[in-house]
Amino acid sequence: MNEPIKALPPEGSAKCAQKRTLNGESIAYYRRVLVLTLGFCLLLADAVNWPWGLGNSVTVYAWYLLLLLAVGRERLFSRRESRVLLVWNLVLASTFGLTSNPLFRVWNFLALLILVPIHAMASLGSRPWWDLWMLAERFQLLLQGLLGNLWACFAAAVPEKPSDGKPKRTMAVVLGLCGAAALVSVLLPVLASADALFAASLEALNWDIRMLRFGDLFQRLFWALILTPFVFGLLYAMTHPKQLCPPEKKKFFQMDALGFVLALAAVDGLYLAFLAVQSAGLFGGPEYLESLGVSYAEWARSGFFQMVGVTVVNLSLTLASLSLSRREGGSWRALRWLCAVLAGESLVLLASAAWRMTLYVSAYGLSFKRCMTYWGMVMMALLLLAGLWKVRRPDFRFCKWAFPLALAGWLVINCVPVDYLVARDQVNRYLRSEAFEETPVISLSYLVDELSYDTLHQLARLDSRTDFFDWRTGEELPLGEILRRRRREAWEDCQDWRSWTFSACLAKTRP
């Protein structure tokens, strides 16, 4: 199956009929790929369900196995960026079978929904991967592959006329069996519910309609048959690349740097005044803030999310100024200095936001959002350093380094047990408060219901007899009962391979 798929002319043409008679091996290869595609679509219709788990990982692995068999490894591994993105997608897909954090599941699903098609269309695109317009090109190629080659599936499925002139009955048998299965799956439950005697007869035969689940099977087969022509057409397009006409290289709109100089000077001055006030709050202490009528706790917990957003605006302004300004004269030199000052001020703003976040965490403990804020600050700091390097070297391709940096950072945070760290911090603070005879505070509903199963091991350190409020039932329940309920949920997830995760496997308890 390593031979390339040869082009099929439109069905019905004389050339197509000649090829189908003289080159039966090529048609047979198409049919093998069509059967593999149908199998993948059946898996896709069955495996991708909520709660997400191992089924999503297996689906991504199956997709790349299908590509390897149908397209060949030359197109998958020809470019270095394709190999890197392939490894990244496989590693990210593995997280569905390892972790159980609901937010990470949604974000990783959206990331794969974008990056898997980008990787598949890598051999067809003409724009480099660091070009932002690459996204639009790959999306256009994806639509062309999905919608522009639907005829290929039907051309491969129609049986060729045998040499003896007698038509084969294979297709008729397949269609008849599919129709029979569909009709039986729909009519059998209806008849069982319409007549008690018929239902009792089925029960006497030990047939359980609910266990057979004919309706679910038929629904998955229906969606698989719907998806197969589109997926097969995409594979056909990947083996017969028709690259889009490369666009004419046009120079970007550029203007005199003086306009950006004036804007940057105003923004830099505003940030200098802001940082001066921030420094007074940082070094003045609670007494200085109370003299202004601001509590230290209120000042510490406000503003760090806004500061992260401001640094995004600053980085965008820096890149736009360097890209859209004419590189000539004193205005250009002044622009580069002001961009460097803006990047430095942004780093100081991030440091201030991190310090205030640390003060807030020291008072209220870690949470998933606060951990992700720390991660976002680190990533923004790295991107700002890359922006500073572009100020020094204007020809530096920012996106060529920013994209791999962002992907690597996302993989790193997926490998960090965030929920476990949050639970450990909250439990330690609770036990420490008890030891010092203070009023212990812990958000049990947040740790149990909003985070993953990784929190259960730390919560087991608490006294299982302690009563906590269960927001689901609206009553006080012992911690041991709440943990048993959560472990039973983990056990139920592990009963279905599609929702199985290593995190649930470690936390499960058989009911």
The tens digit of pLDDT for each residue in 210-269 reads: 444 555 666 777 788 888 888 888 888 887 766 555 555 555 567 777 888 888 888 888
DSSP 467-508: EEEETTTTEEEEHHHHHHHHHHHHHHHHHSTTT--HHHHHH-
Q: What is the distance between the alpha carbons of residues 190 and 276, in angstroms, rounded to a whole number?
A: 76
Q: What is the distance between the alpha carbons of residues 255 and 318, in angstroms, rounded to a whole number?
A: 15
At a CB cut-off of 8 Å and minimum separation 6, what does 494 contact? 500, 501, 504, 505, 508
* Sequence-distant contacts of 189-195: CB under 8 A, at least 24 apart: 189/214, 189/215
Arithmetic mean of pLDDT, 349-369: 84
pLDDT of the residue at 4: 43
Residue 366 is inside which H or E element, if any? Answer: none
Arithmetic mean of pLDDT, 333-340: 89
Which residue stretches of 240-328 are H helix? 257-291, 296-300, 304-324
C-alpha dist (Å) from residue 465 to 418, 460, 490 = 27, 11, 22
Q: What is the distance between the alpha carbons of residues 128 and 81, in angstroms, rounded to a whole number?
A: 10
Q: What is the distance between the alpha carbons of residues 490 and 277, in angstroms, rounded to a whole number?
A: 50
Q: Which residue has the higher pLDDT, 465 or 334?
A: 334
Both tokens of 480, joined, read: 């041991």
Per-residue confidence band for 472, with pLDDT thresholds at 50, 70 and 90: low
pLDDT per position as a tens digit, 89-123: 999 999 999 988 888 999 999 999 999 988 888 77
Within 10 Å of residue 295's Cβ, how many Cβ atoms? 11
Bridge partner list, 468: 477
Share of the chain above pLDDT 70, in %: 70
Burial of 52 from C-beta contacts in 10 A (0-12 / 13-18 / 19+): buried
pLDDT of the residue at 18: 39
* Sequence-distant contacts of 161-166: CB under 8 A, at least 24 apart: 161/20, 161/21
Arithmetic mean of pLDDT, 26-47: 81
Amino acid identity for residue 71 in this structure: V
